[in-house]
Amino acid sequence: MMGRPHVLLVEAIHPDALAWLRERADVVIAGDYREETLLKLAPGADAIVIRANGKVDERLLAHAPRLRVVARHGVGLDNIDIEGCSRQGVWVVHTPLANVEAVAEHAVGLMLAVAKGIARSDRAVRQGEFTAARRDIVGEELEGKTLGIVGFGRIGQRVAAICRAAFAMPVLFTDVLSQIEAAARLEAERVPLDELLVRSGVVSLHLPLTPATRHLIDAAALARLHPGAILVNTSRGAVVDEQALGEALRTGSISAGLDVFEEEPLPSDHPLTVLPNVVLTPHCASHTESALRAMGMVVEDVIRVLTGEPPRYPANRPPSAVIR
C-alpha cells in the first residue's frame, strides 16, 4: 500500500488504542453512526472499525471500493454483513477474548442486583423511604439455585465458573456444541432449552443474534420458567421477545436483569422502565477500563491486514484476500 492507510472509526475507541493507530494510519472518527454519515465517509476508507452501533451492510460496502478490513470492537457480528465482506475480498476481524471477564462479572452483578433488590432499595433510600424499604424489600440468596446458561461459549462458561465457586450453583447449559471438556471441568449438564428453563432458578443468556436465536426466549419459553426465576440478558436484546417479557414481568412471577434491548438506546417511556422487578443497564457490560482497551486494540489486526499480514482473530477468510 502506498502512503498511510485511511481508517474510519464509527465511534471513538480507547485512547491508548487510538494513539497506537494514529502512529500508523490516518484516522477519521465519524461522530455519529447514521447511515448517511457513514456513506459519505466510506469511499476513502481502507478499514472501518465498528462498535455496537451502526452497521456495515451491502449498501455501505458498495460505497467503499478501497475497503480491505472491517474490525468489530467487541464480539457480536450481527451488524456486519460477513458474507458480503467475503465476496468483496474484505477481512472481518474481532476481539473474541477481550471482554469475557467484564461481561461475565456484569451478568453475575445483575443476578445479585435482582435477587437482593439492590436497585429498588437504592431508589427507595434516595426518595426518603428508608424504613418502608427496609421492611418491604426482601431479597433472595443465589446459593444453591440452579443456573441455566443458554449459550455455553467463553462468557457463558466464565459465568458458570463464578457462580459455582461463589454460590455453589449447579449448572445446566444448552448449546449447539457439546462442549464436552468445559462441561466436565465445570460439572455442567447439557440439556435441551425447554428442560433448562423448567429446571433453572436463574437463566443467563450468552448467544449471538442470528435468525435462529431471534426471539428464542418468547412467550412460550418464558411460561416455562417457574415462579421466582431470574432471567439475565447480556447478549443481544432481540434474543428475547421484549413484549412477551414485559407481560411476564407484569405478572410478578419472574424478574430480570437486562443490559441489552431490541431498540437501543432504550426509549425513556419504554414499558420496561416502570416495572419494579427488572434491573436495566445501558448495554455497558463490557465497559471496564481493561476490556475497552483490549477491544480497542482490534486495530492491531487492522494494521496487520493492511500491511499484508494475516489477522490473529479473523471472523472470515475472503477468497480473494491477499496476505504474505
Q: How confident is the model at residue 133 (pLDDT cuts 50, 70, 90)?
A: very high
What is the identity of the amino acid at 123?
R
Q: How confident is the model at residue 323 (pLDDT cuts 50, 70, 90)?
A: low
The upper half-sphere exposure of residue 42, i.e. CA atoms within 13 Å in the direction of its Cβ, equals 24
pLDDT of residue 3: 83
pLDDT of residue 138: 96
- On the question of pLDDT at 274 being above 70, the answer is yes
| Cell 487510538 -> residue | 18
Q: What is the pLDDT of residues 17-74, one digit of tens each?
A: 999 999 999 999 998 999 999 999 999 999 999 999 999 999 999 999 999 999 999 9
Residue 189 neighbours by CB under 8 Å, 6+ apart: 170, 171, 172, 173, 183
Q: What is the pLDDT of residues 296-308, one digit of tens each?
A: 999 999 999 999 9
Q: What is the pLDDT of residues 209-262, one digit of tens each?
A: 999 999 999 999 999 999 999 999 999 999 999 999 999 999 999 999 999 999
Active site residues: 236, 264, 283
Domains 6-98+289-306 and 100-280 alike in fold: yes
User: How many whole angstroms separate alpha carbon 250 and alpha carbon 256?
Assistant: 11
| Cell 439455585 -> residue | 145
Burial of 85 (0-12, 13-18, 19+ CB in 10 A): buried
Q: What is the pLDDT of residues 150-189, one digit of tens each?
A: 999 999 999 999 999 999 999 999 999 999 999 999 999 9
User: How many whole angstroms separate alpha carbon 204 and alpha carbon 108?
Assistant: 9
Angle between helices 100-116 and 289-296 (to 10 degrees): 150
pLDDT of residue 31: 84
User: How many whole angstroms separate alpha carbon 169 and alpha carbon 259?
Assistant: 22
What class has domain 6-98+289-306?
A: alpha beta
pLDDT of residue 324: 44
End-to-end CA distance of the chain: 13
Architecture of domain 100-280 in this structure: 3-Layer(aba) Sandwich (3.40)
Q: What is the pLDDT of residues 92-101, one digit of tens each?
A: 999 999 999 9
Q: Is 163 helix (H, G, I), strand (E, B) or coil?
A: helix
Pairing of strands 26-29, 6-9: parallel
**For the chain, what are the domain ranges?**
6-98+289-306, 100-280
Q: What is the pLDDT of residues 63-92, one digit of tens each?
A: 999 999 999 999 999 999 999 999 999 999
Q: Is 149 helix (H, G, I), strand (E, B) or coil?
A: strand
Q: How confident is the model at residue 2 (pLDDT cuts 50, 70, 90)?
A: low
